[in-house]
Amino acid sequence: MVVTQSADLTRGDRLRGRSALITGASRGIGFAIAESFAMQGADLVLSASSEPGLIKAKNKLIEYGGEVSYLAADVSSAKQIDDLFAFALESHAELDILVNNAGMHIAKPFTEHEMDEFGHLMRVNVFSVFQLMQLAIIHMQKLGRGKIINIASVAGLRESMNSSAYNTSKHAVVGLTKCVALENAKNGINVNAICPGIVETDLIQGVEDKMKAAGMPAEEFRERIISQIPIGRMLKPEEIANIAFFLASSDSDGMNGQTIVI
């Protein structure tokens, strides 16, 4: 665990004085969200499974002048989630924003899933979200304010081939978002979800590698994916980060329990 602070360089002020805990923050969507928050003055607590990735992220984010803390954690472990949240409160007396971004994907026919791997996926994609939200809500109720942003997926709103486990987990995140938002609507706490389509991240690269191993060239896989996207390209992590920043800012104070599809 490390806490680092640098000189104020190119910082905005829309999130100045706010602190955010972001999971899956070392790369991809999570890092893009962390950077968008840092650019607007937020102090950050980053988490991911890999400490080297967190160190690299921290070294970039401290250029914006805020305080950056990080703790490597396995979000499939309830104990490590408890430790992560305790670390966040040790780093900042008040936690204003929670972004549940950590996740994993399994692509295979329904009948080929093993219960152990399904259970692990649910612990990463659902149980960790439930537990961190619960810890954050208890804290934010005392503050009388808070922003919780869950990174779900369009898979949480529809059916997909060979994705029953993943889609189940993202449907759960969408439902959890709506229920917790309703329960806390009068507590000054906003709970919303972002449901991205296909984003150009390491997760997609991993799927490409698996398809290549199965005999499909990466270029063919990519062409098939892009052919199904109306805008003709994959999303960039920064496009999801822009929505997350809106949900973390005061501009979204009247928005609660929503799933934003992008």
Coil vs helix vs strand at 211: helix
- Calculate the alpha carbon distances from 254 to 108, 186, 248 in Å: 40, 11, 12
Burial class (CB in 10 A: 0-12, 13-18, 19+), 88: buried
At 6, list the tokens. Answer: 């640098």
- Calculate the alpha carbon distances from 29 to 13, 85, 94, 176, 186 in Å: 22, 21, 24, 21, 30
User: Which residue's structure tokens are 């650019």?
Assistant: 39
Alpha-carbon distance 72 to 80, whole Å?
Answer: 9
- Find out whether 246 and 14 touch, Cβ atoms under 8 Å: no
User: Which residue's structure tokens are 């949480």?
Assistant: 156
166 an active-site residue? yes
Q: Please give the biggest Cα pair distance in the chain.
A: 55
- Find out whether 8 and 65 touch, Cβ atoms under 8 Å: yes
Query: Which residue is catalytic, options 37, 87, 127, 166?
Result: 166
Strand order in the sheet with 146-151: 2-5, 67-72, 43-48, 19-23, 97-100, 146-151, 189-195, 259-261
Alpha-carbon distance 122 to 119, whole Å?
Answer: 5
At 114, list the tokens. Answer: 């093993």
Catalytic residues: 166
